[in-house]
């Protein structure tokens, strides 16, 4: 982040105090949601796969904080954080994990397929890199309709070796589409280290092949992500085309709940945990006098209560009716 954009207190000039605290609130909400989901999975209340977002909260929250309501987000299967940051209701998110009729997708999508058109989350997708062409198509629709809205597309480092990644970047650059590609580089694709899967480790440099700007940003710093995304979004709105952002981050848990994490060392985890995006933002706000310890504790209580309510809502909700099996399978054109 350029020094000129930072106040003496270390909080960017365009972020006022309530907005800074709100970024922390959202990150705490996501962390709490994920921890509670892990607990519910262990109790057998959630079935199927569960990919958690712990450690990566600054990416979703920082990037989505610069969007308008009408802008769209398309993401991969690690999607709870993006949905919550875009404004999905935690209760409906939890109900989706529980497979209940009140869930975002009436309980039919589960963890990997959150979709909430009411807030502009047009899907979590399970096929690695498969959603990048969808984001490109949605950006084309905005351009075709003459709207100045943008699409943010999130994916992992593993996706950047898939053919869909290259096709989407090529076409969106050629047609100057309003899409921002955000790679959450957490150094691993499932259990495979990036260095074993990608010839180029500097993922943002893959943008050069398609003549688009590419930038690496500290994905553990919510302000850094926010600032870089704001620039990319402004360029996209102005008709200048796409950007590839690479947010360097780390997932604190395994790839999914089924992963015993045997492929990486504890020392590496300790180094990244010391950079926890929530504790570092809290420390930063406290040091700047923006947040007191009491205020932080109140924030934690508020978020915990909200997640407890979300679980109560999910538990108390009905199962989908058997006849629902055939609804929403096909859409009318």
Nearer to ligand TPP, 81 or 242 (CB): 81
CA–CA gap between residue 62 and residue 77 (Å, rounded): 19
Question: What is the three-class DSSP state of 19?
Answer: helix
Specify the DSSP class assigned to residue 270.
H
Least distance between ligand TPP and beta carbon 146 (Å): 34
Nearer to ligand TPP, 128 or 303 (CB): 128
The mark string for 152-191 relative to ligand TPP (x by CB under 6 A, - otherwise) is ---xxxxx------------------------x-x-xxx-
Question: What is the three-class DSSP state of 248?
Answer: strand
Least distance between ligand TPP and beta carbon 144 (Å): 28
Task: Pick from 5, 42, 117, 127 the residue near ligand TPP by CB under 6 A.
Answer: 127
Locate 229 and state its tokens: 């995304």
Nearer to ligand TPP, 53 or 313 (CB): 53
131: contact with ligand TPP by CB under 6 A: no
Residue nearest ligand TPP, Cβ-based: 156
Task: Pick from 108, 206, 255, 282 the residue near ligand TPP by CB under 6 A.
Answer: 255
Give the closest residue to 157 by CA, choosing from 278, 64, 223, 249. Answer: 249
149: contact with ligand TPP by CB under 6 A: no
Give the closest residue to 189 by CA, choosing from 164, 154, 155, 216. Answer: 155
Residues 91/116, Cβ–Cβ less than 8 Å? no
Checking DSSP bridges between strand 179-185 and strand 188-189, what pairing results, if any?
unpaired
Binding site for ligand TPP (CB under 6 A): 78, 126-128, 155-159, 184, 186, 188-190, 255
């Amino acid at each position: 982040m350029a020094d000129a954009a930072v106040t003496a207190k270390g909080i960017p000039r365009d972020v006022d105090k309530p907005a800074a605290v709100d970024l922390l609130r959202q990150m705490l909400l996501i962390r709490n949601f994920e921890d509670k989901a892990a607990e519910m999975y262990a109790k057998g209340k959630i079935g199927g796969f569960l990919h958690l977002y712990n450690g990566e909260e600054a990416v979703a929250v920082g990037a989505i904080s610069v969007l308008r309501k009408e802008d769209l987000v398309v993401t991969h299967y690690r999607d709870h954080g993006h949905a919550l940051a875009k404004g999905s209701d935690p209760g409906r998110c939890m109900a989706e994990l529980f497979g209940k009729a009140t869930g975002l997708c009436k309980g039919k999508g589960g963890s990997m397929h959150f979709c909430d058109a009411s807030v502009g989350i047009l899907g979590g997708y399970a096929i690695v890199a498969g959603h990048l062409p969808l984001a490109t198509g949605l950006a084309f629709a905005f351009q075709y309709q003459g709207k100045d809205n943008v699409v943010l597309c999130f994916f992992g480092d593993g996706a950047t070796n898939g053919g869909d990644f290259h096709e989407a970047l090529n076409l969106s650059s050629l047609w100057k589409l309003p899409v921002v590609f955000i790679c959450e580089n957490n150094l691993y694709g499932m259990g495979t280290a990036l260095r074993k899967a990608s010839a180029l480790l500097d993922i943002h440099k893959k943008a050069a092949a398609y003549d688009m700007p590419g930038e690496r940003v500290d994905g553990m710093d919510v302000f850094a992500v926010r600032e870089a995304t704001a620039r990319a979004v402004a360029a996209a709105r102005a008709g200048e085309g796409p950007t590839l952002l690479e947010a360097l981050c780390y997932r604190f848990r395994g790839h999914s709940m089924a992963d015993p994490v045997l492929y990486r060392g504890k020392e590496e985890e300790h180094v990244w945990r010391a950079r926890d995006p929530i504790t570092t933002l809290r420390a930063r706000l406290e040091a700047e006098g923006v947040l007191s310890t009491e205020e932080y504790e109140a924030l934690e209580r508020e978020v915990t209560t909200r997640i407890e309510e979300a679980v109560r809502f999910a538990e108390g909700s009905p199962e989908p009716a058997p006849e629902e099996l055939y609804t929403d399978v096909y859409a009318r054109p």
